[in-house]
Amino acid sequence: MVQAQLLAAWFGTGYLRAQRRVRGIDHTRGDVPGWVMVTVMSAGLVVVIFGVFKAKITDAIGNAIDSVTGEAGN
């Protein structure tokens, strides 16, 4: 343990956190399957929202670009 404390003093507390994570002691580790589910659900919501409001979204973006570039009045 003295060696681990010396390495922690040299490299900072990140070394001890990494050592705990490798050994499975770190309880602050994230829930990977949960984050995957959140990411997939968010992507699904984006697809559904874009599918329902595609025309309005493309019109709004087109109008915004036209107002910036000055092509709306032509």
Delimit the domains of the chain by residue range: 1-29, 31-74
> What global pTM score does this model have?
0.45
Residue that is written with structure tokens 């829930």 in the block: 31
CB 57 within 8 A of CB 50: yes
Place of tokens 């681990």: 4
**31-70 pLDDT tens trace:** 677 888 899 999 999 999 999 999 999 999 999 999 999 8
